[in-house]
Structure 1
Amino acid sequence: MHDVVEAQSQLVLTREEGLLAGVRTLAGLRRWRDALVQANTRPDGSYGCALGTLCAQLSDDDERSRAALAAAFDRWHQLLIETLTRLRDLGVLTRDADPDKLGTGLLAALQGGYILAQNAHDPQPMADALDMALDRIDTFANR
């Protein structure tokens, strides 16, 4: 099971690094959102986040898996913080934007969206949750 956790973590984080690395605008952040929502739309109805699913199944019973998943989520959060910091440094976001708090909200919206989409077999709840988080980030846009 530990090999599965490691493999899935690598897969998700590699995808996220690739998607977030080039984000330099709020439109780029929306494209990241679009890519995740699109990837979560499966013809066979398999929605959800591999890491979130593993976390729900393993974290209470396997400390090694919990620690590995916590590290993966910490890295994912850090990728979002780095992206939002880049946007702030580029002047896309105002100086009072807090990348750590905004990154936490964005990751929480994403994970909650994954769960709601999985339960509904419909990606729309995920899209809505991400839109709300991105709308909040947009309130810090330099105009």
Structure 2
Amino acid sequence: MTDSPKASAKTRLTSRGEATRARILDAAANLMYVKGVNATTLDDVRAISNTSKSQLYQHFPDKTALVRAVVSLRSEQILEREQRSLQRLRSFHGLERWRDALVQNNALQKGAYGCALGSMASELSDQDEVSRVTLATYFAAWEKLIADGLERMRDAGDLSTAADTRKLATGLMAALQGGYLLAEAAHDVTPMRTALDMALDHIKSFLTA
């Protein structure tokens, strides 16, 4: 049985609507990363995404709704990236490769914009409780990926049983976010690499060989 013309038109409209929403969301995410959440206006988003007010408000009734969608998008993107890097982590060399990838990626912009999640957290944590909780959840998931990798190293006997993998993961995450912030201020990734190296040196002290 074939779709009726009305059903087909509805499907095309839905697809077009999804494409418009994705275009708006992508534009907003890029603007908020470069300019900051508070400095980005809905007019900025409309101009970059080439959408009308009616199109924008059809998908996002206000800026708060758009910001929360951006928070979810960026969080999912970063966690997916980190899962690819960390879900099979089981060696110190793997941690070094992970560090190198993050520093090299940030160096492409000379560290100018920092971590997308960290930047949003600094702006939104005292403004929007929904966004704060979302960001905290994804930071915890990111940190758990690191802790799980360290636990695999400990289970394999490469890391001392005295190593508290949760605390080590928290320290490494703190070094990463602090490194992002220092690199952003300096427009130089050297402080980021130094902060991560210091955290990795501490983890290295628990290696068994």
Instruction: Say yes or no: TM over 0.5.
Output: yes
Q: Is the 8 A contact 1:92 1:142 kept in 2?
A: yes
Return 5+ residue gaps in structure 1 as ranges: none
Aligned match for 1:52, one of 118, 133, 149: 118
**What is the DSSP-based 3-state SS (H/G/I as helix, E as strand, rest coil) of the residue aligned with 1:140?**
coil
Kindly state the Cα deviation for residue 24 of structure 1 after the two structures are TM-superposed: 1.9
| Corresponding residue for residue 85 of structure 1 | 151
Say whether 1:8 aligns with 2:100. Answer: no
Which amino acid is 2:132 matched to? R
In structure 2, what is the Cα distance between the partners aligned to 1:84 and 1:65?
29
Corresponding pairs, count? 143
Q: How does 1:86-125 map to 2 (within 5 A)?
A: 86-125=152-191
CA distance in 2, matches of 1:28, 1:71: 25
Q: TM-score, normalising length from structure 1?
A: 0.96
AA partner of residue 100 (structure 2): D
Distance verdict in 2 for CA 1:44–1:140, change over 3 Å: closer
What's 2:127 paired with?
61
Larger relative CO (CA 8 A, sep 6+): 1 or 2? 1
Counterpart amino acid of 1:42?
A: L
3-state SS, counterpart of residue 93 of structure 1: coil
Alpha-carbon distance change, 45 to 24 in structure 1, aligned in 2, over 3 angstroms: closer
Spell out, residue by residue over 1:108-130, the C-alpha distance to the aligned partner (whole angstroms, 9 max, x if none).
00000000001100011000000
Query: Given the two structures, how large is their TM-score scaled by the length of structure 2?
Result: 0.66
Alignment partners' CA distance in 2, 1:2 and 1:43: 25
Q: 2:117 corresponds to which letter in structure 1?
A: L
CA–CA separation in structure 2 for the residues paired with 1:103 and 1:120? 25
Structure 2: distance between partners of 1:46 and 1:117: 7
Aligned residues: CA RMSD: 1.1
Provide the residue aligned with 2:98 in structure 1: 32
Distance 1:136 1:13 in 2: 25
- In structure 2, how many angstroms separate the alpha carbons of the residues matched to 1:23 and 1:78? 12
Deviation at 1:23, TM superposition (A): 1.9
Change (3 A) 1:44 1:25: closer
**2:195 counterpart residue number:** 129
> What residue identity is the alignment partner of 2:131?
S
When structure 1 is superposed on structure 2, of 104-113 and 40-49 the one drifting more is 40-49
- Per the TM alignment, residue 45 of structure 1 is displaced from its structure 2 partner at its CA by 5.6
2:88 is the counterpart of 1:22: yes
- Matching residue's letter, 1:6: S
Q: Describe the superposition over 1:14-33 as per-residue Cα deviations: whole angstroms up to 9, x where unpaired.
A: 11111112322111110000
**Alpha-carbon separation, structure 2, partners of 1:24 and 1:15:** 17
Change (3 A) 1:45 1:138: closer
TM-aligned CA deviation for residue 43 of structure 1: 4.3
Larger-gyration structure (1/2): 2
Cα gap change, 1:113 to 1:63, in 2 (>3 Å): same
